[in-house]
Structure 1
Amino acid sequence: MFLLRANYTHPAFREAARDMLPLATGIAAWGLMTGVAMVKSGMSVFEALAMTLLVYAGSAQLAAIPLIVASAPMWVILATAFCVNLRFVVFSLHLRPYLMHMPRWRRLVNGFMTADMSYAMFTRRFPHPPTTPEEQHQQEAFLCGNYFVTWASWMASSVIGIVLGNLIPTSWGLGFAGVLCLVGILCSLANTPLRRLSAVIAGAAAVATYALPLKLNIVAAIAITVAIAFVLDKKLAPPPEPTA
């Protein structure tokens, strides 16, 4: 327990939390969408909460929900979740040299808490396994910081989505969850000023051209946004460095 408490007081924990915070919005949007999808698919609040707390795997949850609703055989549900999460086998193989010094129960906890973004942020920060006890402590503390922000964002937003799923009219159905899914993609990608401005322009253009038939306002919004973003990117690009 001392080592675990030490992780949360290590500077690497705060560093990892700061690095992960900009991504928390996208994670929360995905969690919100998943929570709504679980309830709107017919799962009870208890089942949705249990799945959120015990499974902690957004893509596997979304893949399993329609199979559960369709009363598919258990082996089909498990096989589907296994295939969706095969990427974590690769993550585990890569992280093995980083974690083998830990007791088994801590390795299992790390395996459960590992998510796509926490893995990506950790391996970018530490391209090589630790060689000293201090490096081991630093890397474990960094992982804990990643886990904390990712887990808290996902769990809080999923629970909110489950609550909203009971409040949203049934007529909105899973189509509303699909909209939240797109919002999640938008939030995760809008990580630069130009991208955020592009999102605003696209939204405004889609509303301004809403009267177009066949939902061509979406196509128009894309074309307008791409053209404006292209011009702005050219104007805002730094000048080329002079050659010697």
Structure 2
Amino acid sequence: MNNNLDYKTGIKDTLPTVFGFIGIAMAFGVIGKSAGLSTALVGLMSLLVYAGSAQFITVSMLAATSPILPIILSTFLVNSRMILMSMTLAPYFKDESLGKNILLGSLLTDESFGLAVNKLNFTNDKLSFSWLNASNTVAYLTWVISSILGAILGNFISDPKKFGLDFALVAMFIGLLYLQVLYDKGLNKTLQLIVIAITLALTYLGLIFLPINLLIIVVTLITCGIGVLVKNAFF
């Protein structure tokens, strides 16, 4: 990464994450196909819903003939974390129009959020609409196209886990976390490691007591609170 915030640089900065999108989107396409969805429906879901984990949950609930209301509620809960992410980035775009902010928020992903947070380390805490819009657009197009390809390949691939496609997204997040810890000059490294350890512990315990739909948002809120307390008390 560098300190440029133009559209072209946004595309360049996002390209390393594309392989993660391809892997998990193709896995979704394969799973959607095996659940009985047509290739067109798989593509339409990625085009309109555009929510990785929620799409997997939706497909599994549709296959189980779940009512529509629980499916909508589950989708909202799984993606409620995006509210927190959008609020975190919103101050950097306060001078942009409402329409541009809605566009950025609508296409924001975990990956583009992670890239944006890392980018702040190189730009003196500045972001631009062009850069983030480019990142979002690359992610969006990659997801839609790859999920359609996955649905097509679903006619020949019965189990995506055999190819490691289920681990692609996890690997990408590990890489983003590593880059954030490596380049973030604003936070003490010890503090960052403490927060990471707390997050891992809470996630492990949360898997025992909480439904997966609520786990991410609950752990995020609790960890953020603990992180602020630890920072103010010891750093």
TM-score normalised according to structure 2 size: 0.64
Instruction: Return the alpha-carbon distance in structure 1 between the equivalents of residues 123 and 86 of structure 2.
Output: 13
Superimposed CA distance per residue, residues 143-202 of structure 1 (whole angstroms, 9 cap, x where no aligned partner): 02211321232122111101112x226xx3xxx1334533524763796xxxxxxxxxxx
Mapping of residues 219-230 of structure 1, within 5 Å: none
Q: What is the deviation of 1:141?
A: 1.4
Superimposed CA distance per residue, residues 116-163 of structure 1 (whole angstroms, 9 cap, x where no aligned partner): 1111111221269999xxx6xx61111022113212321221111011
Say which SS state the counterpart of residue 52 (structure 1) adopts: helix
Structure 1 unaligned residues grouped into runs of 5+: 1-9, 192-244
Instruction: Return the alpha-carbon distance in structure 2 between the equivalents of residues 185 and 25 of structure 1.
Output: 9
RMSD (Å), alpha carbons: 2.8
Partners of 2:28 and 2:147 within 8 A in 1: yes
Matching of residue 101 in structure 1 with residue 95 in structure 2: yes
Percentage of identical aligned residues: 23
**Structure 1 equivalent of residue 208 of structure 2:** none
Structure 2 unaligned residues grouped into runs of 5+: 176-235
Matching of residue 55 in structure 1 with residue 84 in structure 2: no
**Structure 1 equivalent of residue 118 of structure 2:** 124
Matching of residue 72 in structure 1 with residue 61 in structure 2: no
**Structure 2 equivalent of residue 178 of structure 1:** 161
Equivalent residue in structure 2 for 1:14, among 8, 11, 18? 8
> Which one-letter code corresponds to 1:160 in the other structure?
L
Q: What is the deviation of 1:54?
A: 0.6
Q: 1:11 to 1:80 in 2, by over 3 A?
A: closer
Partners of 2:25 and 2:143 within 8 A in 1: yes
Matching of residue 168 in structure 1 with residue 168 in structure 2: no
> Which one-letter code corresponds to 1:178 in the other structure?
K
Mapping of residues 226-241 of structure 1, within 5 Å: none
Instruction: Return the alpha-carbon distance in structure 1 between the equivalents of residues 16 and 37 of structure 2.
Output: 31
TM-score normalised according to structure 1 size: 0.62
Instruction: Return the alpha-carbon distance in structure 1 between the equivalents of residues 39 and 8 of structure 2.
Output: 34
Equivalent residue in structure 1 for 2:23, among 12, 20, 29? 29
Partners of 1:130 and 1:139 within 8 A in 2: no
Instruction: Return the alpha-carbon distance in structure 2 between the equivalents of residues 130 and 105 of structure 1.
Output: 26
Q: Quick check: which has more Rg, 1 or 2?
A: 1
Say which SS state the counterpart of residue 160 (structure 1) adopts: helix
Instruction: Return the alpha-carbon distance in structure 2 between the equivalents of residues 18 and 34 of structure 1.
Output: 25
Mapping of residues 136-155 of structure 1, within 5 Å: 139-155=128-144
Q: What is the deviation of 1:93?
A: 1.2
Say which SS state the counterpart of residue 151 (structure 1) adopts: helix
